[in-house]
Structure 1
Amino acid sequence: MLTSKQRAFLRGMANGMDAIFQVGKNGVTPELRDTVYNALEARELVKISVLDNNMLGAREAAEMLASRTGAEVVQVIGNKFVLYRAAKKPVIELPQAKK
């Protein structure tokens, strides 16, 4: 579970990123899930856009992909969303949570 400080840190990192995947009219397919899973393992942070011809909203698509890939939804704005999942060999160092 991400803290608000960690979420803000990740939002800042994602701000300059371009969307690398699109959820199209077929929705969240197994192929899309697999490619997003692999991208999360390599990058840890991905931005995805939802096309207008999709029956899902951005929030629904984000929640669905997050649950299927073991990721967390960082942000949903308009038709784009950001997912984060720590890799086996972490690349991004998150701010520490207070204890």
Structure 2
Amino acid sequence: MANLSIQERKRLRQIGHALNPVVMLGTHGVSESVVEETLRALNDHELIKVKIAGEDREARVQAMDELAQKTGAEVVQKIGKIALLYKKAPQQNAKLSNLVRHAHVSN
């Protein structure tokens, strides 16, 4: 996936600020079911927040990167236990896409 420009990242972070996590990573890490659920959420919403449990910072960062790699998503931002992931949907759904629904947030 191509790297996002600074302006694109800024806009995605602005939209992501109002979002709640839709995928939660537990102590079992990046399992096949978590990858499938993340892919479904990315296909529907394009921009999602993922919450990762655990106190080990390096393990959380590694899990975030592994999930992004397995789903083909771009990590827009990492803050503590929350990661903001973006992946352009093959066919955008205007009712579900966070990019369409929050298009009014700064361009």
Cα shift readout 1:53-90 (whole Å, capped 9, x = no counterpart): 67821x21221111101110000001100100000123
Aligned to 1:97: none
Cα shift readout 1:22-70 (whole Å, capped 9, x = no counterpart): 110100000000010011001001101111267821x212211111011
Q: Is the 8 A contact 1:14 1:82 kept in 2?
A: yes
Aligned to 1:13: 15
Aligned to 2:88: 86
CA distance in structure 2 between the partners assigned to 1:65 and 1:53 by the alignment:
18
Detail structure 1 runs of 4+ shifted over 4 Å in the superposition.
none
Aligned to 1:56: 59
Aligned to 2:74: 72
CA distance in structure 2 between the partners assigned to 1:25 and 1:56 by the alignment:
10
CA distance in structure 2 between the partners assigned to 1:89 and 1:33 by the alignment:
20
Q: 1:4 aligns with which of 3, 6, 16?
A: 6
TM-score (norm 1): 0.85
TM-score (norm 2): 0.79
RMSD: 1.9
Q: Is the 8 A contact 1:10 1:74 kept in 2?
A: yes
